[in-house]
Amino acid sequence: MPVNKTTYNEITKRLSCASVSLVAVSKTKPVEDILELYQLGQKDFGENYVQELTAKYEQLPKDIRWHFIGHLQSNKIKYIAPFVHLIHGVDSEKLLAEINKQALKLGRQINCLLQIHIAQEETKFGLDETELQQVIASINQGKYPNVNVCGLMGMASFSSDNDLVRTEFKALKKLFVSQKPNNSIAFTTISMGMSADYETAIEEGSTMVRIGSLLFGSRN
């Protein structure tokens, strides 16, 4: 299936007016498809698998900002640490500590979002409110100087119940407002909303949406 340029133009217009940024989720899609959107001006792309991300990074223009949106294993951080723009799914303090360690080695700061478990489903990853408070306390103590915690990320239930999805996004927004780190100048980002629910996410205060299938077609 070809890249849907008309939809891309519609979505970017809409997001631009709402000051929401777009991560085009290109997992499983070929580099040719990524280049098509890149040529229309898209610079932020999201991937879920470390090996796929590093392979695409090698092949594609170096001004692409790569977002890692999958579940990251500690032993794989080193492969993406040199170039990744933003890691969305930080769901444990242990992972945050490991990212800090790799960033320190490279002498860089790595941007991260803390993933919050907002869905009803058990299968989704993320911190609960208590765990979030603990991680923020550690950040406030200055434990992770090479990690730049930019905000929160969440995935709503995979459900056609729009009220449920809205309630989950509201909960994420509320945590974002109430649980900022002390020095929260950089704490600006709420990554929520995918192809099926991005409009609701924007209404509930998302600042960054992650959209795949609407742009690239459905995945196998």
Binder among 20, 22, 25, 192 for ligand PLP (CB under 6 A): 25
Q: Would you give the binding string for ligand PLP spanning residues 144-183, x where CB under 6 A is met?
A: -----------x----------------------------
DSSP states of 79-112: HHTTT-SEEEEE-SHHHHHHHHHHHHHHT--EEE
**Whole-number minimum distance, CB 194 to ligand PLP, in Å?**
4
Nearest to ligand PLP of 155, 175 (CB atom): 155
Residues in 116-135 that interact with ligand PLP by CB under 6 A: none
Q: What are 14's two structure tokens?
A: 């809409």
Is 66:53 a contact under the CB 8 Å cutoff?
yes
Q: What are 90's two structure tokens?
A: 């930080």
Is 18:202 a contact under the CB 8 Å cutoff?
yes
Q: Which residue has the tokens 């490279």?
A: 106
Nearest residue to 38 (alpha-carbon basis) of 76, 1, 65: 65
Binder among 29, 67, 173, 210 for ligand PLP (CB under 6 A): 210
How is residue 72 annotated by DSSP?
Answer: P
Q: Which residue has the tokens 């603990």?
A: 134
**Whole-number minimum distance, CB 108 to ligand PLP, in Å?**
24
Nearest to ligand PLP of 15, 69 (CB atom): 69
Binder among 95, 149, 194, 201 for ligand PLP (CB under 6 A): 194
Nearest to ligand PLP of 27, 143 (CB atom): 27
Region from 73-81, 122-130, 181-189, 208-216 binding ligand PLP, contact rule CB under 6 A? 208-216
Nearest residue to 147 (alpha-carbon basis) of 116, 105, 196: 105
Q: Under the rule (CB under 6 A), what is the footprint of ligand PLP?
A: 25, 27, 48, 69, 155, 194-196, 210-213
